[in-house]
């Protein structure tokens, strides 16, 4: 079955954290099975609740503490893809962290990966949504652990693991500290992305481009504070994985109308649209589209262009892109 329709167009999502997309009801169920009491992280309606970014990190950590085995991750993958498919997502790249899946041990990581991959293949058959993984180092865990993560990525590169990235606290350390890991991933044939320009300013975007050689930047929106950098992004065709709802929920911008995605798009920067950690930010891909339509009067033509940008920038192989292109062409017939 497919949820795609004229009112719910086919979407591609490039910036998405698997654990961060865990539906609250799924996490509550898992906690109950394991006799863990994490009831404090939910509000009366059962949604995740937090007051600021630091509290958000604590809630996130408590929620993800329930995920402890390959089987848990297989079930998580299924639950997450069901939610994405409802929003019309036909292709999703999700960040996966060997830190949480086997403690950066390559053998354990392979077991987690196999479980997630089988769940993703079943979801593809059942719901028409394709998943690919970007192995992600956690910046505030430091460069040594990032090296082990890069080795996990290099050992499992293929048609499912297609990229390597850097997430976590943007203010911790410098991108150059992670150069070895990114070189290792690049040599293994992985595509590269890094979070920057969300909490850090334009200089953080310049640093991941210069020091890590990424082709995409996670967020990157604070580039707007330096118009020479905006011109550079446009000229070089650097793709930004923009997560408007996430930025508003965490207070990077006060509202969607004040969000720089409209200005970045007008200035020719290749922007894409993603949800980041959707239930934590009370968003979905459908909600992002509706919000951007309301804030910037974007029409179907703009969204089709952005979908094309996401397809071109996707890290999957050419065969997968060809299949996705056909699906986009025929999605609304």
Q: Cβ closer to Zn ion: 148 or 246?
A: 246
198 counts as binding Zn ion under rule CB under 5 A: no
Least distance between Zn ion and beta carbon 171 (Å):
15
Q: Note the Cα 117 to chain centre separation in Å.
A: 17
Q: 241 catalytic, yes or no? A: no
Cα 19 from Cα 73, distance rounded (Å)? 9
Catalytic residue among 198, 241, 305, 329: 198
Least distance between Zn ion and beta carbon 242 (Å):
11
Site for Zn ion in 150-179 (CB under 5 A): none
Site for Zn ion in 222-241 (CB under 5 A): none
**CA-CA distances (angstroms) from residue 102 to 26, 96, 134, 145?**
21, 11, 16, 13
Contacts 24+ apart (CB under 8 A), 37-40: 38/62, 38/63, 38/65, 38/66
Number of shown-chain residues binding Zn ion (CB under 5 A): 1
Q: Residue 248's closest CA among 235, 257, 239? A: 257
Q: Cβ closer to Zn ion: 194 or 230?
A: 194
Least distance between Zn ion and beta carbon 101 (Å):
17
Cα 171 from Cα 187, distance rounded (Å)? 27
- Is residue 302 a contact partner of residue 178, using CB atoms and an 8 Å limit? no
Cα 179 from Cα 147, distance rounded (Å)? 9
Site for Zn ion in 240-279 (CB under 5 A): 276
- Is residue 265 a contact partner of residue 271, using CB atoms and an 8 Å limit? yes
Site for Zn ion in 275-304 (CB under 5 A): 276
Shortest-Cβ-distance residue relative to Zn ion: 276
- Is residue 261 a contact partner of residue 244, using CB atoms and an 8 Å limit? yes
Q: Cβ closer to Zn ion: 280 or 296?
A: 280
Q: Cβ closer to Zn ion: 83 or 276?
A: 276
Q: Cβ closer to Zn ion: 167 or 306?
A: 167
Cα 325 from Cα 170, distance rounded (Å)? 34
Least distance between Zn ion and beta carbon 133 (Å):
14
Least distance between Zn ion and beta carbon 218 (Å):
5
Binding site for Zn ion (CB under 5 A): 276
The catalytic site residues sit at 198
């Amino acid at each position: 079955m497919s949820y795609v329709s004229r009112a719910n167009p086919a979407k591609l999502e490039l910036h998405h954290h698997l654990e961060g997309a865990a539906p609250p009801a799924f996490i509550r169920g898992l906690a109950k099975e394991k006799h863990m009491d994490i009831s404090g992280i939910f509000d009366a309606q059962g949604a995740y609740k937090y007051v600021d970014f630091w509290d958000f990190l604590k809630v996130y950590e408590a929620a993800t503490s329930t995920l402890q085995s390959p089987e848990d991750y297989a079930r998580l993958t299924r639950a997450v893809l069901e939610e994405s498919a409802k929003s019309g997502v036909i292709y999703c790249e999700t960040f996966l962290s060997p830190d949480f899946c086997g403690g950066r041990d390559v053998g354990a990581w392979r077991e987690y990966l196999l479980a997630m991959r089988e769940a993703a293949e079943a979801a593809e058959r059942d719901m028409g949504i394709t998943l690919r993984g970007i192995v992600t180092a956690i910046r505030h865990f430091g460069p040594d652990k990032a090296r082990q993560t890069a080795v996990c990525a290099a050992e499992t590169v293929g048609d499912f693991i297609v990229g390597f990235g850097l997430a976590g606290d943007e203010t911790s350390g410098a991108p150059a500290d992670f150069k070895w890991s990114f070189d290792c991933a690049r040599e293994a044939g992985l595509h590269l992305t890094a979070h920057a320009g969300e909490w850090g300013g334009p200089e953080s975007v310049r640093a991941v481009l210069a020091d890590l050689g990424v082709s995409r930047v996670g967020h990157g929106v604070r580039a707007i504070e330096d118009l020479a950098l905006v011109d550079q992004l446009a000229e070089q065709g650097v793709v930004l994985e923009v997560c408007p709802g996430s930025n508003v929920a965490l207070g990077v911008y006060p509202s969607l109308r004040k969000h720089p995605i409209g200005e970045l798009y007008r200035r020719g920067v290749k922007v894409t649209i993603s949800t980041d950690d959707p239930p934590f930010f009370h968003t979905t891909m459908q909600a992002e589209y509706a919000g951007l339509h309301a804030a910037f009067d974007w029409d179907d033509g703009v969204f089709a262009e952005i979908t094309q940008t996401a397809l071109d920038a996707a890290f999957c192989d050419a065969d997968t892109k060809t299949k996705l292109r056909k699906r986009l062409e025929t999605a609304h017939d």
